Structure 1
Amino acid sequence: MIKHVDLGKSKSCRKSKLASLIRHGEVRLAGYSKGKIYGLLSCSSGKRMKIENRVFFRDEDEALANDYRPCGNCLKDKYSIWKNQ
């Protein structure tokens, strides 16, 4: 798990580092640390959160290992399964 604020001090530094991590496949999912929710990088809900609450994951296994649940907006099928457990 990578915290967004740990990627750099400035907005441009964080943006550059994150782009590199995405290109190299080290980041595929994003999460909301306060709600322990993970979802797609393209999720409209995730794009609205503050950077201090944003985290990134390599894959779903890493998100689940950190006790995060699927997003009900961008991962509806996985969210339904999680909710019904």
Structure 2
Amino acid sequence: MIRHSDLSPATIRHKIRRREVVLAGNMKLKIYGNLGCSSGKRMRKENRVFFHSEAEALQHYYRPCGHCLKEKYKAWKLDHKR
């Protein structure tokens, strides 16, 4: 997990192009999603983190985004019913 605020814009672009980061997450809400998600683009820089893989996001107890990862979110929701 890499914090957005720890990276320069050029470093972020480099990591995205090299596929070193493929997902972004909201540190406060514990939600991860695709880099192009409209919901994720609205989050504050200090709350954004980047992940190399979905497994890494799940390892940090983040849940899938309900907008860009609808099917994964539905499956997660079924698995986490109380």
Normalising by the residue count of structure 2, what TM-score does the alignment of the two structures yield? 0.94
The separation in 2 between residues aligned to 1:82 and 1:49, in whole angstroms, is 22
Opposite residue 29 of structure 1, the aligned amino acid is: L
* One of 11, 22, 30 as aligned partner of 1:36: 30
TM-score under structure 1 normalisation?
0.91
Gaps of 5+ in 1: 8-13
- Separation in 1 of the partners of 2:38 and 2:18? 23
Please state how far the C-alpha of 1:34 moved relative to its aligned partner.
0.3
Structure 2 SS opposite 1:55: strand
Aligned match of 1:58: 52
Cα RMSD after superposing both structures: 0.5
Match of 1:16 among 6, 10, 18: 10
2:75 to 44, 66, 81: 81
Identity of aligned residues (%): 59
Q: CA deviation at 1:4?
A: 0.2
Match of 1:10 in 2: none
Deviation at 1:25, TM superposition (A): 1.2
Q: Deviations over 1:25-80 (max 9, x none)?
A: 11000000000000000000000010000000001000000000000000000000
